[in-house]
Amino acid sequence: MNSPSSIKTVDRLVRILDCFTPAQPAWSLTELSTHLQLPKSTLHRFLVSLETYGILHRDLHDKRWRLGPRLFAWGSLAAESIDLRRIARPVMRDLVAATGETVILTAYYGQEVICIDKVETNHSVRMTLEVGTRRPPHAGASCKVLMAYLPGEEIRAIIRDKGLPRLCTNTITDPDELLTELGAIRERGYAHSLEETDLGAWGVATPIRDWRGEVVAAIGVAGPTSRLTDQLVQQYVALCRQAAQRISMLLGAGIGSRNEEQPQTKREASK
């Protein structure tokens, strides 16, 4: 049986985490202490414990506390716990029928992008990506669109820890060029790639949001360059947008969430 003290500790931890919102993503110790009406010494012990597990992170420059990378892993698992694949599968089938190309569903987890589902086209020449495949987030439409909506500190951590290895002819390997590309993706709301991960392959992808308006997955269309035209790119972008919106609505997007253009997300990602 849980003791009253352990329940009180859990309550405090939840209260601390609930303070971090799109409107206020970072707190100083003093601000948080005043807001929660907790002594600084007590609060600091909680914050340090949460940082140990990667749940919170204290920036070395401004000394402010922010949500940590471990929450991205939990968020991805939570998305799967409500069976994202089951919700998305009918929409993916419709997108394959509309484009004639393979459709993939991806999610970000632990500085990688994972293919969590796919529906293949009947074309004899088609792009294939096995479910469970992990790829670095800096190359490919589905990967870049997920990376674009990560907080700035997470993007910097990926570049620092993983680097930007060249996977194919057009892989972006320069950090400044990548940051510019991610900013452009946030502005237009989709990602496009051409031979960034595989020769003769191209793709487009758009973000999927949950009930909070947070990006939890991406849906993308991938095909061979032999069937690529500028007109098709724009057509497939529009179809991907529609598919992402359908899935997002099924996940509760629009119910108490921020709208599609999120200035807080953009500011955080550009830091």
List, for residues 80-139, the tens digit of each pLDDT value.
555 788 899 999 999 999 999 999 999 998 899 999 999 988 765 546 667 888 899 999
Give me the amino acid identity at 195. Answer: E
Predicted local distance difference test score (pLDDT) of residue 98: 95
**CATH code: domain of residue 15:** 1.10.10.10
Shared domain for 63 and 85, answered yes or no, is no
Query: Which residues of the chain register pLDDT less than 50?
Result: 1, 126, 256-271
Nearest to 174 by CA among 139, 200, 202: 139
Say if residue 258 is exposed, middle or buried (CB neighbours under 10 Å; 0-12, 13-18, 19+).
middle
Predicted confidence at residue 24, as pLDDT, reads: 87
Say yes or no: 202 and 256 in one domain: yes
Domain limit, last residue, from 46, 67, 88: 67
| End position of a domain, from candidates 21, 51, 67 | 67
Same domain, 180 and 59: no
Q: Are residues 102 and 218 in the same domain?
A: yes
> How far from 46 is each of 14, 32, 52, CA to CA, in Å?
11, 12, 10
Domain carrying residue 50: 4-67
CA 249 to chain centre: 17
Domains in the chain, number: 2
**pLDDT value at residue 209:** 94
- Here the CATH number for the domain that contains residue 88 is 3.30.450.40
| Angstrom distance (rounded) from CA 163 to CA 160 | 6
Instruction: Give yes or no: residues 59 and 96 share one domain.
Output: no
Do both 61 and 140 map to the same domain?
no
Structure confidence at residue 76 (pLDDT): 65
How far is 194 from 201, CA to CA, in rounded Å? 6
| Same domain as 131, residue 253 | yes
Q: Is residue 155 within 8 Å of residue 137, measured between CB atoms?
A: no
Could you give the residue ranges of the DSSP H alpha helices within the chain?
4-18, 29-36, 40-52, 70-81, 84-99, 141-148, 152-162, 175-188, 230-250, 263-270
pLDDT at site 4:
65
Last residue in a domain, options 49, 67, 85: 67
93 and 216 inside one domain:
yes
- Whether 111 and 181 share a structural domain: yes
Helix (H, G, I), strand (E, B), or coil: what is residue 127?
coil
31 and 95 both lie in a single domain = no
Same domain? For 48 and 96 the reply is: no
Model pLDDT, residue 66: 92
| Token pair listed for 234 | 């724009």
Indicate if 85 and 48 belong to the same structural domain: no
